[in-house]
């Protein structure tokens, strides 16, 4: 390239420069990166070209990938990761698989050894294409410098359209070092990739006809409504027909949790009202959920009397788990707009709605205060009130995750960030870093556990480095709580390797302080209000260690293999 690119002070000279330029061309605002030998040409190019995106350093490549997921979840933009070859690349795998299962747009650039030594077990060589093919939406290894603009443009297109997902680009070191001699085309060539966005109108009409014929309809809202930014259209649709709503874990916030028609989460740790509504319904309209087994329970007993309409942008999800009567392939927003454009049919589901709402009233989620000890559910309710149901809530994976989903009343779309499909412990802290970077003005609350937080606790360094005011709550039950609960209920109290009491856990307050983050420990309920005053009273990051009883369980619970109507612990025990 002869001319100086408009953004940069010197001409584009190398493959690495082209990569940086292509990221800028794709409107990248934040890059989550960690340097290493195979990607040094790209880091050096960024040093020289000074691109207008910020570079965020996490302390482990798994952290980069989860931070990119958190960023993608709250902004709707792809999270972009740069890691080196070999161990750098393999460290991103958990985040890539996580983004794949939760359909988050992500671009992961990995370094690779030079093309001349690929396949020789060279230093820091790993087969990134082989490793990531089953866990990514697509992947590329760049073989020639002239392919860089096309491949990067295609990767962004694939990651962000249709069903979003992670795309991996493996960059051999000699390609990033290669000289750029002319301007190369960035035009797409994707003859096999044409996702369906607009729904088939005759299928949309069938959904409306099914509503007209139904007596007991229920709408299941999934993560697809969050990803498509379609919560406004969803609310309008629900209010037009006054249909009760249940949500999947990833659908949290897509419909306001405090809305009268919200029955809460369905599935293994769902509410009685939500599970009974699905069980008793004669029409189940699923918008953007993938009928995960944690939601359906035993498929043989799932929605036994319902006609099923399933709206999903990925045709392979329709009919995969649950037999579907009305398949609608399309983007959730486009489908909801099409549903709203149809003439409204006159229906009333008042009796049915009253039945659902009576269940909600009779069998609410519950907890008991144990002496002066802190009830985690109560604490989360308090946080929900303090933050006006408006905070970005990030969770790790375990009991605390389910309590957060149950007791934080999330009223806003794209503000619940949780690893659903893969169930990744260690997701929370780096995802909170990414979420806070993506939404600097929002309050970001991380609900974690003593087990989960220790998987990626080194990212406290990123919290301090970038002055991120993340409010980190570690619900410390001195166990791997969810495992412990299963061992108690299913494995006859045999707590193999799940107890972290005594000196098995670190002093989290000291650990926070070692990283330069304020730490507070609370052990009784009377300490909580003052703690919340302090934590939410300023813009500092906090690690709050909350001692909770190990015996506190997540209820209700559908034992694995059972029908969702066979819930344990619906009412106070």
Partner 1 sequence: MKRIITATVENSSGVLNRLTGLFARRTFNIESITVGTTPDETISKMTFVVQVESAEEAEQLIKQLNKQIDVIKVNDITDLPIVKRELALIKVKVSKSTRPEVQSIIEPFRTNILDVSKNSITIEVTGNTSKVDALIDLLTPYGIIEVSRTGITAFPRGTK
What backbone torsions phi and psi does residue 395 show, to the nearest 5 degrees?
A: -130, 160
Active site residue 141: no
| Catalytic-labelled residue, pool 100, 106, 482, 531 | 482
113 or 435: CB nearest partner 1: 113
Encoding tokens for residue 497?
A: 């390797």
138 or 536: CB nearest partner 1: 138
69 or 317: CB nearest partner 1: 317
Which residues are CB-contacts of 37 (< 8 A; sequence separation ≥ 6)?
A: 84, 85, 111, 123, 124, 173
| Catalytic-labelled residue, pool 7, 124, 203, 465 | 124
Q: Shortest distance, CB of residue 62 to partner 1, whole angstroms?
A: 23
Residue 313 near residue 196, CB atoms below 8 Å: yes
111 or 165: CB nearest partner 1: 165
What backbone torsions phi and psi does residue 343 show, to the nearest 5 degrees?
A: -65, 135
Q: Shortest distance, CB of residue 192 to partner 1, whole angstroms?
A: 4
129 or 197: CB nearest partner 1: 129
Q: What DSSP string runs through 385-405?
A: HHTTT-SEEEE-SSHHHHHHH
Residue 559 near residue 545, CB atoms below 8 Å: no
| Catalytic-labelled residue, pool 43, 61, 307, 317 | 61
566-572, Cβ contacts within 8 angstroms, sequence gap of 24 or more? 566/297, 567/272, 567/275, 568/489, 570/272, 570/363, 571/363, 571/366, 572/366, 572/368
Q: Shortest distance, CB of residue 533 to partner 1, whole angstroms?
A: 51
Active site residue 123: yes
Q: Shortest distance, CB of residue 16 to partner 1, whole angstroms?
A: 24
316 or 504: CB nearest partner 1: 316
Q: Shortest distance, CB of residue 184 to partner 1, whole angstroms?
A: 18
* Beta-sheet pairing, 30-33 with 54-56: parallel
3-state secondary structure 249-284: CCCECCECCCCCCEEEECCCCCCHHHHHHHHHCCEE
- Give the C-alpha separation, 311 to 318, whole Å: 8
Which residues are CB-contacts of 302 (< 8 A; sequence separation ≥ 6)?
A: 278, 296, 322, 563, 564
Cα angle 385, 387, 393; round to 5: 110
Active site residue 482: yes
| Catalytic-labelled residue, pool 21, 137, 173, 307 | 173
- Give the C-alpha separation, 352 to 217, whole Å: 8
Using CB under 8 A as the criterion, which residues of the chain lie in contact with partner 1 when the complex forms?
129-130, 133-134, 137-138, 158, 190-193, 314-316, 319-320, 323
Q: What DSSP string runs through 186-230?
A: -----TT-----SPPHHHHHHHHHHHHH-SSEEEEE-HHHHHTT-
- Give the C-alpha separation, 202 to 326, whole Å: 10
127 or 523: CB nearest partner 1: 127
Active site residue 173: yes
Encoding tokens for residue 493?
A: 């109290």
Other beta carbons less than 10 A from residue 382's beta carbon: 18
| Catalytic-labelled residue, pool 123, 215, 323, 372 | 123
Which residues are CB-contacts of 258 (< 8 A; sequence separation ≥ 6)?
A: 389, 409, 411
Q: Shortest distance, CB of residue 190 to partner 1, whole angstroms?
A: 7
Q: Shortest distance, CB of residue 188 to partner 1, whole angstroms?
A: 11
Encoding tokens for residue 325?
A: 């009567």
Q: Shortest distance, CB of residue 323 to partner 1, whole angstroms?
A: 8
315 or 469: CB nearest partner 1: 315
Closest CA to 220 of 237, 205, 204: 237
Catalytic center residues: 61, 123-124, 173, 482
């Amino acid at each position: 390239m002869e001319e100086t690119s408009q953004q940069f002070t010197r001409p584009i000279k190398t493959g690495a420069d082209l990569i940086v330029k292509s990221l800028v061309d794709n409107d990248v605002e934040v890059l989550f990166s960690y340097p290493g030998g195979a990607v040094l040409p790209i880091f050096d190019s960024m040093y020289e070209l000074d691109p207008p995106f910020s570079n965020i350093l996490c302390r482990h490549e798994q952290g980069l990938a989860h931070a990119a997921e958190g960023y993608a979840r709250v902004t709707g933009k792809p999270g972009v990761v740069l890691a080196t070859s070999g161990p750098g690349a393999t460290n991103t795998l958990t985040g890539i698989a996580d983004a794949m299962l939760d359909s988050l747009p992500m671009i992961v650039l990995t370094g690779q050894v030079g093309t001349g030594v690929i396949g020789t077990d060279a230093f820091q060589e790993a087969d990134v294409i082989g490793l990531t093919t089953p866990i990514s939406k697509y992947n590329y290894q760049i073989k020639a410098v002239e392919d860089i603009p096309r491949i990067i443009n295609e990767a962004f297109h694939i990651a962000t359209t249709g069903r979003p997902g992670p795309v991996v680009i493996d960059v051999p070191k000699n390609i990033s070092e290669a000289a750029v001699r002319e301007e190369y085309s960035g035009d797409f060539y994707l003859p096999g990739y044409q996702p369906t966005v607009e729904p088939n109108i005759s299928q949309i009409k069938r959904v409306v006809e099914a509503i007209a014929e139904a007596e007991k309809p229920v709408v299941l809202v999934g993560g697809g409504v969050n990803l498509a930014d379609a919560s406004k259209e969803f609310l309008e649709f629900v209010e037009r027909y006054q249909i009760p709503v249940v949500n999947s874990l990833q659908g949290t916030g897509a419909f306001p949790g405090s809305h009268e028609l919200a029955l809460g989460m369905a599935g293994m740790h769902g509410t009685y009202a939500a599970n009974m509504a699905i069980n008793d319904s004669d029409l189940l309209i699923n918008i953007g959920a993938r009928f995960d087994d944690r939601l359906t329970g035993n498929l043989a007993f799932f929605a036994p009397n319902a006609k099923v309409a399933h709206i999903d942008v990925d045709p392979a999800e329709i009919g995969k788990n649950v037999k579907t009567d009305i398949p609608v392939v399309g983007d959730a927003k486009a489908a909801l707009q099409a549903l709203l454009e149809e003439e409204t049919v006159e229906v009333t589901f008042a009796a049915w709605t009253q039945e659902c709402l009576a269940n909600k009233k009779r069998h609410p989620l519950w907890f008991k205060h144990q002496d002066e000890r802190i009830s985690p559910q109560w604490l989360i309710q308090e946080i929900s009130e303090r933050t006006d149901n408006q905070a970005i809530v990030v969770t790790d994976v375990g009991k605390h995750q389910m309590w957060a989903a149950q007791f934080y009343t999330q009223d806003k779309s794209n503000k619940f960030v949780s690893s659903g499909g893969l169930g990744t412990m260690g997701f929370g802290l780096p995802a909170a870093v990414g979420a806070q970077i993506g939404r600097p003005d929002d309050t970001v609350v991380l609900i974690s556990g003593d087990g989960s937080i220790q998987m990626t606790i080194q990212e406290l360094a990123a919290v301090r480095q970038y002055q991120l005011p993340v409010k980190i709550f570690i619900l410390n039950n001195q166990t791997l709580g969810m495992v412990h609960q299963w061992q108690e209920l299913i494995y006859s109290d045999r707590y193999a390797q799940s107890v972290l009491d005594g000196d098995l856990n670190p002093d989290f307050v000291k650990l926070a302080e070692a990283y330069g983050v304020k730490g507070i420990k609370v052990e009784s309920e009377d300490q909580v209000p003052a703690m919340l005053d302090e934590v939410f009273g300023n813009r500092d990051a906090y690690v709050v260690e909350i001692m909770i009883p190990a015996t506190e369980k997540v209820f209700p619970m559908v034992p694995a293999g059972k029908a969702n109507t066979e819930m344990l612990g619906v009412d106070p025990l």
